[in-house]
Structure 1
């Protein structure tokens, strides 16, 4: 604005001495192209589905006004440093879950796979839009100088291993690549959580550094190549849908004109919608038609003990902060509502 005022002041002095015909020619100031760097948690093959189509669409529609450069997992900064890099302005925006990018907020544990918080992918947007999580997330991130933009659902969290899992006893001692909070919970059943760069997971399976993966459903196992290095897929899951969000550096978001903000909101909705049907259809189709992974199941009665333990875990998390307690209260209310509603919302 300072440069613009100085220009207008100088232009006014010049115009006063100019011929009358010159006054009829208006000055048009060109809008500089806004460039963002956005990094996703997803590797290249997965990003082709979970974000690239939406960003390509945004860039096409915003031609001449804004362009978003998309980077995949660990390409600019390690996933665990995404939040700090965005907060500092090293990158402008992020698509990730709160948990794996190590957000310094008390609700970060609910991102990614919070045990049994959801049964189906539609649970996630319902919790955010109808049960108050939108406001809670916005409040938490406003306190740390980052603009939380929108949350959506991904796939469920299942095990893919080289050992068949048919009872809880089979989990003991397994070195599993998974998310921080999911790993903290699974440790109660003897699982040894392992943290690795996303791009190293496939090689770690081949070398025996890890015994399995609890990072996704079967769609991603096939898409990213993990089905090529594992033999078994456990149909039981600890969460029906991963919860991830879009975030932006607050200052950079405030610089974006309102029309482009609205366009980006539509872009996020487009991304959320694509994942809803891509994962929902993919999970079923690959269980039925997939040829690379043998399905195994832990009996329902035994798996219910895992779900019961999750509710104890919820209470422990609720004790960590008043805001975390509020989220757990919402999750419990939602769970109660779905169970009372019965099929198709919940099956006993």
Structure 2
């Protein structure tokens, strides 16, 4: 019998006697949660991922489960959202896990590390490998359960007043670089600066920093970085595919009905795919506009890439020797990455290499 018809014909007493009421009552309960984002509202891609998620939750719950989304700095500092979820100030946060490497470097493995995986590989590790299982075991120690909720794809390497021509140009460079990547940059002689997205332009304009990276052409153009630094590097060797996560207070999530838990999982999965699609669709046009307006593209020199790779591997080895959380997760991450790269070098890379050499 269709559930609504059953409820109408049996009446509440009959439903209770049949043992059907708890799931129905929970599924129909009105609920309001707050989500703290780490991003400025002006970015319809990365901040917008939380809006997409919240809208889907509302749609799938018939409007009974409402989540209000708050930009970075509105309820708490952009990098304070994990603390907000941990202490229950808000139920959810939408953020990049590597921002919190200061708590434990293992956070970075949930987002992106230098010379890590691309977005497809990261999603594969999370959903079909051990990634989600291992990261959830780690996040449990912070009273958090996570859901992948976006990926930027491979990023650009940032904006510079002068192009980087060799390793010598990296020495002493005050560079805004997100989270964990600064640990490798520092080993190259760079002075890393961890600054929220909404504050980067002012820092670059005032000369507080010499260079800055954010994500890619669409967002970078919106933030106006091309107006204060004309040279645009590629690729971001520190972010081959940065995952954005939905962090939920574990007690709040445990208190949800099975239906609402399923809705959150489905809405996060939708937002995860939607964000990647938006970046892939919007970055090409933005890059064309930037170049047409005078932006000068340059590729990181080989000596910079090789030095960064060498230092990143040395760092990971050191962390494995002193941080058991890192060692456990990174061992699985590294094995999965090796298998993925073996596969991608044939079909994916072979196809991409040919197609990108054609004049279409």
- TM-score normalised by L of structure 1: 0.83
Answer with 65-74 or 145-154: which moved more. Answer: 145-154
Alpha-carbon distance between aligned partners in 1 of 2:80 and 2:215, rounded to the nearest angstrom: 21
Answer with 291-300 or 249-258: which moved more. Answer: 291-300
Q: Which residue of 1 aligns with 2:198?
A: 199
Shift of 1:25: 11
Q: Which residue of 1 aligns with 2:247?
A: 247
Q: Which residue of 1 aligns with 2:305?
A: 303
Is 1:46–1:220's contact at 8 Å kept on the other side of the alignment? yes
Give the one of 323, 326, 332 matched to 1:324: 326
Give the secondary structure class of the aligned counterpart of 1:169.
helix
Give 1:1-348 correspondences, 5 Å limit.
32-47=29-44, 49-101=48-100, 104-105=103-104, 107-118=106-117, 120-150=118-148, 152-157=150-155, 158-238=157-237, 239-290=239-290, 291-292=292-293, 293-300=295-302, 302-341=304-343, 342-345=345-348
Give the secondary structure class of the aligned counterpart of 1:45.
coil
Alpha-carbon distance between aligned partners in 2 of 1:127 and 1:151, rounded to the nearest angstrom: 14
Alpha-carbon distance between aligned partners in 1 of 2:160 and 2:231, rounded to the nearest angstrom: 5
CA deviations over 1:212-271 (Å, ceiling 9, x no partner) = 112322332123333333311101321211122111111211222221221111111111
Alpha-carbon distance between aligned partners in 1 of 2:277 and 2:13, rounded to the nearest angstrom: 56
Shift of 1:77: 0.8
Alpha-carbon distance between aligned partners in 1 of 2:60 and 2:152, rounded to the nearest angstrom: 25
Alpha-carbon distance between aligned partners in 2 of 1:217 and 1:34, rounded to the nearest angstrom: 36
Is 2:135–2:329's contact at 8 Å kept on the other side of the alignment? no
Alpha-carbon distance between aligned partners in 2 of 1:26 and 1:333, rounded to the nearest angstrom: 52
Is 1:339–1:346's contact at 8 Å kept on the other side of the alignment? no
Structure 1 residues 286 and 330 mapped into 2: Cα distance closer, same or farther (>3 Å)? farther
Alpha-carbon distance between aligned partners in 2 of 1:24 and 1:108, rounded to the nearest angstrom: 49
CA deviations over 1:59-90 (Å, ceiling 9, x no partner) = 23324421000011122111232111111110
Alpha-carbon distance between aligned partners in 2 of 1:344 and 1:205, rounded to the nearest angstrom: 41
CA deviations over 1:68-116 (Å, ceiling 9, x no partner) = 0001112211123211111111011011122214674551132444111
Q: Which residue of 1 aligns with 2:357?
A: none
Shift of 1:289: 4.7
CA deviations over 1:153-173 (Å, ceiling 9, x no partner) = 224342212222232222222
Alpha-carbon distance between aligned partners in 2 of 1:191 and 1:259, rounded to the nearest angstrom: 49
CA deviations over 1:24-79 (Å, ceiling 9, x no partner) = 99999895521111011221122453332332232233244210000111221112
More helix by share: 2
Alpha-carbon distance between aligned partners in 1 of 2:149 and 2:129, rounded to the nearest angstrom: 13
4+ long deviations beyond 6 Å:
23-30
Q: Say how many residue pairs are matched.
A: 325
Root mean square deviation, CA, Å: 2.8
Alpha-carbon distance between aligned partners in 2 of 1:184 and 1:222, rounded to the nearest angstrom: 27
Alpha-carbon distance between aligned partners in 2 of 1:330 and 1:297, rounded to the nearest angstrom: 31
Q: Unmatched 5+ residue regions in structure 1?
A: 1-22
CA deviations over 1:163-220 (Å, ceiling 9, x no partner) = 2223222222221112231111101122111233432211111111111112322332
Alpha-carbon distance between aligned partners in 2 of 1:117 and 1:26, rounded to the nearest angstrom: 53
Alpha-carbon distance between aligned partners in 2 of 1:344 and 1:217, rounded to the nearest angstrom: 26
Alpha-carbon distance between aligned partners in 1 of 2:124 and 2:320, rounded to the nearest angstrom: 21
